[in-house]
Structure 1
Amino acid sequence: MVFSAAATPIVNQKFHGVETLTGNAASAGLAVMAVILCSGHISGAHLNPAVTIAFAVLRHFPWVQVPAYIAAQVSASVCAAFVLKGIFHPFGAGGVTVPSGNMGQAFALEFVITFTLLFVITGVATDTCAVGELAGLAIGGTVMLNILVAGPTTGGSMNPVRTIGPAIAAGTYKGLWIYLVAPPLGAVAGACTFTIVKLKEAEPPQQVRSFRR
């Protein structure tokens, strides 16, 4: 996911905007969708520490497994970023998500788009009324939508590891704290909100008691 999501902005930068914002958004959304569809049944396809933390907070995921999942997510992000650095030399900062506006605006945007993402993820992953087979499409589409909204301002990260790996590879740490703090907070808020407002499962109809005279 990090390889695809970061590669497209790098190509966009090197080839004078050939990918465009729509291409950047589509690349990330399609990558998320593909990974969910191929590995969701194996690991839950936790591509994002914010998702892992939010699910653990709501007891949809065991806390004891959180450190291993986050370690895998961070190490994969760093590896993907350095592979990109080796391929697209000089690496530049095309794949790094950095705020282009003020820090408050960037924090608010990352919080809101991650809130939206986790609202959708919690819905398709935990609600038995949802169509589970379409989870990859729903989540990938939400990622694409959020990048179209926030891409020009924050890069539309929604994910600490989407930012960490490319930032380390490029040596660019501007506003890094935003991407480490806002997505987990937005994720917990979005997951909790869906849990509060979701419809309760329909109760079986009560049987009518009959009395023989």
Structure 2
Amino acid sequence: MIVAWRRHWPHYVAEALGLAFFISCASLLTVLLEHPASPVRQALPNEVVRRGLLGAAMLFVVVTIVYNPWGKRSGAHINPAVTLAFWQLGKVRLPDAVWYVVAQFVGAIVAAQLMSLVLGPLYAHPAVKYAVTQPKPGGEALAFAAEFIISFLLMLVMLKALHSSKLKKITGWLLGGLIALYILIETPYSGMSLNPARSLGTALAANSYHGLWLYWVAPPLAMWLATVLFRRFYHGEDLDCAILAGCGPGTSSPHSPEEEPPQYPDE
């Protein structure tokens, strides 16, 4: 663990910053679109339209995280469930996977606390509620099923794209588009998380933990199952690396020759 930290700490910092940026943008956009005092909220009374705008904005947030130099450096997992899937595929060594997950949780918690400090009452307003993800009136069972389905599909799309020479360079755009669609149609069921660290960070800021367990169980379980099934039935190109921007060996890699990318398969 100590050796891994000394060698790859910039990757871990990039993961923390990536998820912190995601949560900060989601929080600011939620205040802008949902707080009753916001002129945008007043101009757009239709909730579906506001969710559509949030989804479109978050698409570009995801793309920014995936394709910026720091995102290419770490792989832009920004999700413990994604990192565990890459570990299961043998593309991330266990010490690095542990540090990735720790960094993601730290980034999420710090970002949510910072947003709480900066936005204050705006962030705490019931219409915003710290951008927390909680089961909606349908209950925890429906929220669990919804989180499981969207996480399963997200991982399948990610794996298919990253294993394709034609699609791997646009994986970030595909995932961003899928997240935008989820925000539009799935938010009324579970709040649309996909991410245990993201849900914990906002839950701590809100001091509200209703249904938190399902965001810790459904996404990792669904992504694990998707990975198992993909490995069982897929026969084609191999996965070059655990980088959502896509990469290939040699000159197509986003990493300089002297820098080791975050691909640490166990031998």
- The TM-score bracket by the shorter chain reads 0.7 to 0.9
Helix, strand or coil: the match of 2:63?
helix
State the partner residue of 2:150.
113
CA distance in 2, matches of 1:194, 1:29: 25
Q: Which runs of 5+ in 1 are unaligned?
A: 203-213
Matched, 1:103 2:140: yes
* Alignment of 1:86 onto 2:117: yes
1:46 aligns with 2:77: yes
**Matched AA of 1:9:** T
Please state how far the C-alpha of 1:98 moved relative to its aligned partner: 0.8
Q: Please name the residue that 1:145 is paired with.
A: 181
Does structure 1 conserve the Cα–Cα contact (< 8 Å) formed by 2:116 and 2:130? Answer: no
Q: Distance in 2 between matches of 1:139 and 1:160?
A: 17
Query: Quick one: distance in 2 between partners of 1:27 and 1:180?
Result: 25
Q: Quick check: 2:130–2:206 contact (8 Å CA) kept in 1? A: no
| Partner SS state of residue 33, structure 2 | helix
- C-alpha displacement of 1:58: 2.1
1:6 partner amino acid = S
The AA in structure 2 aligned to 1:193 is L
Q: Deviations over 1:105-130 (max 9, x none)?
A: 000000110111111111223x1434
Pairing partner for 1:23 from 47, 53, 62: 53
| Residue identity opposite 1:27 in structure 2 | A
- Partner residue of 1:207? none
Q: Is the 8 A contact 1:12 1:94 kept in 2?
A: no
Give 1:155's aligned residue.
191
- Give the structure 1 partner of residue 202 of structure 2: 166
Please, which moves more after superposition, 86-95 or 76-85? Answer: 86-95
Query: What is the distance in 2 between the residues matched to 1:25 and 1:51?
Result: 20
Deviations 1:72-100 (A, max 9, x none): 10111111111211222112214111111
2:203 is equivalent to residue 182 of structure 1: no
Q: Distance in 2 between matches of 1:23 and 1:193?
A: 34
Is residue 60–residue 176 contact of structure 2 (8 Å, CA) maintained in 1? yes
Q: Which position in structure 1 is the counterpart of 2:33?
A: 12
Aligned match for 1:36, one of 61, 66, 84: 66
Retained in 2: the 8 A contact 1:114–1:187? yes
Q: Which amino acid aligns with 2:207?
A: G
Q: Tell me if structure 2 keeps the 8 A contact 1:8–1:23.
A: no
Amino acid in structure 1 at the alignment position of 2:50: T
Q: Give, in whole Å, the separation in 2 of the partners of 1:201 and 1:50.
A: 23
1:64 paired residue number: 95
Instruction: Tell me the SS of whatever aligns to 2:186.
Output: helix
Is the Cα contact below 8 Å between 1:111 and 1:185 reproduced in 2?
yes
Percent sequence identity is: 31
Q: Offset of 1:201 from its aligned partner?
A: 4.3
Which 5+ residue runs of structure 2 have no aligned equivalent? Answer: 1-21, 239-267
User: What is the rounded CA distance, in whole Å, between the counterparts of 2:55 and 2:215 in structure 1?
Assistant: 18
Give CA deviations for 1:28-60 in whole Å, capped at 9, x if unaligned.
322111100113421111110000011112212
Within 2, Cα distance between the matches of 1:40 and 1:193?
Answer: 27
**Distance verdict in 2 for CA 1:27–1:160, change over 3 Å:** farther
Q: Distance in 2 between matches of 1:198 and 1:72?
A: 31
TM-score, with structure 1 as normaliser: 0.86
